[in-house]
Chain A
Amino acid sequence: MLRRALPLGVGRGLLGRGLGTHRGGSTLGKVEGSGGYRGSWVAPVSSYVTFRTRDPAHDGKTVGRLGEGDQNGKVSEIKKKIQSVLPGGAWNPPYDTSYLPPEHSDVVIVGGGVIGLSVAYWLKRLEKPRGAVRVLVVERDHTEYLAVVDDPPLDIQFNPSGYLLLASEKGAAVMESNVKMQRQEGAKVCLMSPEQLRNKFPWINTEGVALASYGMECEGWFDPWCLLQGLRRKVQSMGVLFCHGEVTRFVSSSSHTETTSGEEVTLKRIHEVHVKIDRSLEYQPVECALVINAAGAWSGRIAELAGVGKGPPGTLQGTKLPVERRKRYVYLWHCPQGPGLETPFVVDASGAYFRREGLGNNYLGGCSPTEEEEPDPGNLEVDHDFFQDKVWPPLAQRVPAFETLKVRSAWAGYYDYNTFDQNGVVGPHPLVVNMYFATGFSGHGLQQAPAVGRAVAEMVLDGHFQTINLSPFHFSRFYLGEKVQEHNII
Chain B
Amino acid sequence: MLKIILPTMMLMPLTWMSKPNMIWINTTTYSLLISLISLSFLNQLNDNCMNLSLLFFTDSLSAPLLALTTWLLPLMLMASQLHLSKEPLTRKKLYITMLISLQLFLIMTFTATELIMFYILFEATLVPTLIIITRWGNQTERLNAGMYFLFYTLVGSLPLLVALLFIQNNMGTLNFLMLQLLTQPMLNSWSNTLLWLACIMAFMVKMPLYGLHLWLPKAHVEAPIAGSMVLAAVLLKLGGYGMMRITMMLNPLTNSMAYPFMILSLWGMIMTSSICLRQTDLKSLIAYSSVSHMALVIMAILIQTPWSYMGATALMIAHGLTSSMLFCLANSNYERTHSRTMILARGLQVLLPLMAAWWLLASLTNLALPPTINLIGELFVVMASFSWSNITIIMTGTNIIITALYSLYMLTTTQRGKYTHHVKNIKPSFTRENALMALHLIPLLLLSLNPKIILGPIY
Contact = CB atoms under 8 A, between A and B. Distances in A.
A26 interface: yes
Contact of B144 (A90, A132, A271): A90
Given A20-B279, A131-B280, A267-B425, A103 B139 contact: yes
Contacts of A127: 343
A10 to B, nearest CB: 13
Contacts of B337: 289
B217 interface: yes
B138 A104 contact: yes
A300 B278 CA distance: 40
A463 B343 contact: no
Nearest to B285: A20
Given A91-B143, A103-B139, A428-B422, A22 B284 contact: yes
B439 to A, nearest CB: 27
Interface in A449-469: 459-461, 463-464
A327 interface: no
B341 A134 contact: yes
Contact-residue size bin, chain B (C-beta under 8 Å from the other chain): 35 or more
Nearest to B425: A267
B343 A461 contact: yes
Interface in B420-447: 420-427
Given A27-B141, A289-B339, A461-B343, A433 B280 contact: no
A20 B287 contact: yes
A102 B338 contact: no
A366 to B, nearest CB: 39
Contacts of B275: 19-20
Contacts of B420: 460, 463
A127 B346 CA distance: 14
Contacts of B343: 127-129, 132-133, 461
Nearest to B220: A20
B338 A255 contact: no
Contact of B140 (A22, A102, A257, A433): A102
Contacts of B57: none
Contacts of A129: 278-280, 343
Contacts of B280: 21-22, 129, 131-133
A293 interface: no
Contacts of B141: 27, 91
Contacts of A436: 422
B293 to A, nearest CB: 16
Contacts of B148: 15
Interface string A397-433: 0000000000000000000000000000000100001
Contact of B341 (A91, A106, A267): A106
A310 interface: no
A125 to B, nearest CB: 14
A55 interface: no
A433 B338 contact: no
Contact of A22 (B221, B278, B424): B221
Interface string A277-306: 000000000011110000000000000000
B416 to A, nearest CB: 13
A20 B288 CA distance: 9
Nearest to A128: B343
Contacts of B284: 20-22
Contact of A433 (B287, B341, B342, B421): B421
A466 to B, nearest CB: 12
Contacts of B217: 19-20
B245 interface: no
The interface residues of chain A, by DSSP majority, are classed as loop
A448 to B, nearest CB: 21
A288 B424 contact: no
A12 B144 contact: no
A16 interface: yes
B419 interface: yes
B285 to A, nearest CB: 9
B147 interface: yes
Q: Count chain A CB atoms within 10 A of each CB in B288, B343, B418 and give the residue with the most.
A: B343
B140 A106 contact: no
Contacts of A434: 421-422
A287 B338 contact: yes
A28 interface: yes
B421 A459 contact: yes
Given A22-B281, A106-B339, A106-B344, A269 B218 contact: no
Contacts of A16: 214
A16 B140 CA distance: 17
Contacts of B340: 22
B140 A290 contact: no
Contacts of B424: 267, 433
B140 A26 contact: yes
Given A106-B344, A459-B421, A91 B427 contact: no
A12 B214 contact: yes
A486 B26 CA distance: 66
B218 A20 contact: yes
Given A19-B217, A255-B425, A459-B421, A290 B281 contact: no
Contact of A20 (B221, B344, B345, B419): B221
B235 to A, nearest CB: 18
Interface in B122-162: 138-141, 143-144, 147-148
Nearest to A131: B280
A134 B280 CA distance: 11
Contacts of A271: 338
A28 B218 contact: no
Contacts of A257: 425
A132 B139 contact: no
A464 B418 CA distance: 10
A307 to B, nearest CB: 13
Given A102-B139, A289-B422, A459-B421, A27 B344 contact: no
B143 A21 contact: no
Given A20-B284, A133-B343, A463-B420, A91 B425 contact: no
9 tightest CB-CB pairs across the interface, nearest first?
A: A20-B217, A289-B339, A434-B422, A132-B280, A267-B425, A91-B143, A20-B284, A22-B281, A290-B422
26 contacts: A15-B148, A16-B214, A20-B281, A20-B284, A20-B287, A21-B284, A22-B280, A27-B140, A91-B141, A103-B139, A103-B140, A106-B341, A129-B343, A131-B280, A132-B342, A132-B343, A133-B343, A134-B341, A433-B421, A433-B422, A433-B423, A459-B421, A463-B347, A463-B418, A463-B420, A464-B418
Interface of A: 12, 15-16, 19-22, 26-28, 90-91, 93, 102-104, 106, 127-129, 131-134, 255, 257, 267-269, 271, 287-290, 428, 433-434, 436, 459-461, 463-464
